[in-house]
Chain A
Amino acid sequence: MDYIGIDIGSTSAKTVVMDHEANIIHSFIVPTGWSSFDAEKRIEEELRGRIGKSGQFHCVSTGYGRNAVSWADRRVTEITCHAKGASFLFGGGSINVIDIGGQDTKVISVSSGKVIEFFMNEKCAAGTGKFLEVLSGRLNISPEELDHLAERHTEDLSISSMCTVFAESEVVSLAGKGESKENLAFGVLRSVAEKVAALYGRLSDPGTSRIVLTGGLCRHVFFHKILSDTLMQQVTSCPSALYAGAIGAALLCRDFNTISQH
């Protein structure tokens, strides 16, 4: 029996296939593109190639496009899935999870894989992947390059506008004054870190638990340093935390089906 977790986010769709012992046997990402239904078709195709037509499986879908997976046994929100997935990756005690997604950023207080409390950004792109996407586009680089460039910054530049549209014009005007790309990249990442830190501060217990980062910025190693400096606490992440939502979904899928079998 295979347990499939599918996390269709606004930017990318993550899929994880687990076996009965919770070993990850497949994982892959497809860009969500314009439609979560379209992304779901591509995922289905990829899965067919990997686990074949005859394989027996169960599936839980999550993320904003969770309803596109019509054949999933259940649909669970990304908050519950990230909590479950992060506990699997980083240990089951008390952790505070920061998930920076394409259009939503969440902070989740977790104990033994269960959500205790969570907060999400309001109707605004500040502090989300969308902000990075727009601003890196303006700098004519990919979001990944932003991290490498920022590492070589010479000044701790600040971008004061929280609004994505205003921040974009602020970057344009700073660039027009001859500010270096490296410093601007740093400013953009720090802006995200500050917005995330403000959201993080709303948790009832921000101080004592370990902080882990999931979602799109798991591979931005220099960003982890900026975020740790802003929060004045160590932030831990790992490359597979990009799959935390899908891993959580697969684990929940395994839980649901093993419990119901008894």
Chain B
Amino acid sequence: MMTNRKGICMEVIKDLPEVFDTFAEQRRNSFLTVKEYKEKGIPIVGSYCSYFPKEIAMAAGAAPVSLCSTSGETIPEAEKDLPRNLCPLIKSSYGFAKTQKCPYFYFSDLVVGETTCDGKKKMYELMSGFKDVHIMRLPDKQDEEALDAWEKEILKLKDVIEEKFGTNITDEKVREAVSVNNQANLALEALCTVMRHDPCPITGHDLFRVLNGSQFKFDRKKLPEEIDTLRVKIESDYAGGRMIDRRPRILITGCPMGGATEKVIDAVEDNGGIVVGFENCSGEKNFGIQVDETADDIYRAIARRYLDIGCSVMSPNPNRLKTLGRMIDDYHADGVLEMDLQTCLTYEVESAKIRSFVTGEKGIPYLQVETDYSQSDIGQLNTRIAAFIEMI
């Protein structure tokens, strides 16, 4: 411990690799935290998706947590109930839940799911057989009518949470939660901007480890300070000459990433490229949009923020193109790599549109790869992705 200028004790700023490792281990390290929360009587609300409005759970004094869904470990167990040719994320989520191998699921008092894709929707039905699951009806379009419906769903979630935990969620508490969550999101967004540098200061995988690990920091209030410190450290190291040599700059888009599918990030960075950003639920989709804190109707503002997510379940889905286009420019991307999970229909169908947008309008190469949670396709992924990088 050391003392800073204000005389407050603070932890010595660690070296970057160590910070990245700490974040990477956050998921495991928080196993104990979740237990402590539980013992203190803090309710836990589990979720799987970026559409979950965390603010409502936070306003009730509950801790929102992301549930395990990124490892193939529990898929064989899931396949006893679910079809084999189903999205690995859905199978993994269900498998972790069923086998109680996910401590976050185990400690969750309530799980909130959304009717995003058909596979998830029906899986949540099965999950309700052994867990208290509340399913929010997500519209598949983004007009005013859809916004009305989604706002009602958010109000319904408020009622469910109030009843479940015997609390009263006031507007004031909601506004406070909105502010806390916005700050956390803005810090993460600002962190991502370090990758605008050319050459990049850190690898895309290190950035990913921080973004992913930050989901398991339950105290959202503390997150901005920690992330800002890291960003300042990266920037000052960069100014001091610490950087990655210049490489083809790849922007990743598509399905949620993490755990088993980090093989795709490795395939880029082991073959001479660098990942400069994530237009997916590990990145922009998760924290790139903020709730309007000044809105008169805070629930409508929350509804708007979440409905605006450019997920392929929306039809049409103009926001994904908007975000993707902006990110290609901001991060000076040389190519776009789309990672789709096997049998993810909405992303796979939408990829035709993404391809023509990226190669036509933006004029840079595009590659789509389909993968699952096994490691058997690493050779094929490496060949495809290496060839893609050689094109640039």
Contacts and interface: CB of A to CB of B under 8 A. Distances in A.
Interface string A97-117: 000000010000000001111
A30 to B, nearest CB: 21
Contacts of B391: 80, 114-116
Interface residues of B, number: 13
Nearest to A106: B387
Contacts of B380: 104, 120, 123
Interface stretch (A21-29, A71-79, A128-136, A191-199): A71-79
Nearest to A80: B390
A64 B383 contact: yes
B370 A118 contact: no
Interface string B376-392: 11011001101100110
A120 B386 CA distance: 13
A98 B132 CA distance: 54
Nearest to B391: A115
A77 B377 contact: no
Contacts of A80: 387, 390-391
B229 interface: no
B383 A79 contact: yes
Contacts of B375: none
B377 A118 contact: no
A123 B383 contact: no
Contact of A78 (B359, B376, B377, B383): B383
Given A77-B383, A120-B380, A204 B390 contact: no
A64 B379 CA distance: 8
B390 A79 contact: yes
Nearest to B392: A115
B387 A77 contact: yes
Contacts of A116: 391
Interface string B127-162: 000000000000000000000000000000000000
A199 to B, nearest CB: 13
Contacts of A122: 370
Contact of A118 (B359, B376, B379, B387): B387
A77 B370 contact: no
Interface of B: 359, 365, 370, 376-377, 379-380, 383-384, 386-387, 390-391
19 contacts: A64-B379, A64-B383, A76-B390, A77-B386, A77-B390, A79-B383, A79-B390, A80-B390, A80-B391, A114-B391, A115-B391, A117-B359, A117-B365, A118-B387, A120-B380, A120-B384, A122-B370, A123-B380, A204-B359
Q: Closest 9 CB pairs between A and B?
A: A79-B387, A77-B387, A80-B390, A115-B391, A77-B386, A77-B383, A80-B387, A77-B390, A120-B384
